[in-house]
Amino acid sequence: MEKYVGAKLHGIRVTDAKLNYHGSITIDADFCREVGLKPLEYVEIWNKMSGARISTYVLYGDPGSKCCILNGAAARTCQQGDEIIIASSVFCEIDDIIKLKPRVLVFGENNEIVDRITYEVFRRADNSLDMAVSSELSDNSYGFPASISA
């Protein structure tokens, strides 16, 4: 078993921070369902503004609310408006990640989805591993290497 990226919410903005809460991160349930984040699943959170890195578990927020709320001790690591990356991980065999095709949502200023990305790992004819990254955008402004941009 190895650890792989299972899903990712990239550049989502923190909408609130509630220190006097039991902990966790509350995320719009629609966002979670689209990429496959499950209730109470542990995730890594990386703050693009401060560099802070924490882990906590997911609570589903109101669908359609576009919320991203840090709760409890996690509230000390992010300010309202900070851009963060939320990533889940899975422990599995390579053939499982080939089937999974992890999904990524990319967010704009008001937590609107501006892109959907899929990571695809596959076997080449010689059985060596390779990957492709597909995006709904056509310009590859992310800087993915040309060899993996689909």
- Catalytic site residue 149? no
The neighbouring-strand residues paired with 8 are 87, 104
CA distances (Å), origin 9, targets 16, 126, 127: 17, 33, 31
- Catalytic site residue 55? no
Query: Distance between CA atoms of 63 and 33, rounded to whole angstroms?
Result: 10
Q: Which one of the listed residues 4, 24, 60, 119 is annotated catalytic?
A: 24
> Both tokens of residue 75?
């509230």
Question: How far separated are the first and last CA of the chain, in Å rounded?
Answer: 28
Residue 56 counted as an annotated binding residue: yes
Residue 81 counted as an annotated binding residue: no
The neighbouring-strand residues paired with 46 are 53, 85
Q: Which one of the listed residues 4, 50, 55, 57 is annotated catalytic?
A: 57
Residue 72 counted as an annotated binding residue: yes
Residue 11 counted as an annotated binding residue: no
What residues are annotated to the active site? Answer: 24, 57
Output the known binding site for substrate: 56, 72-74
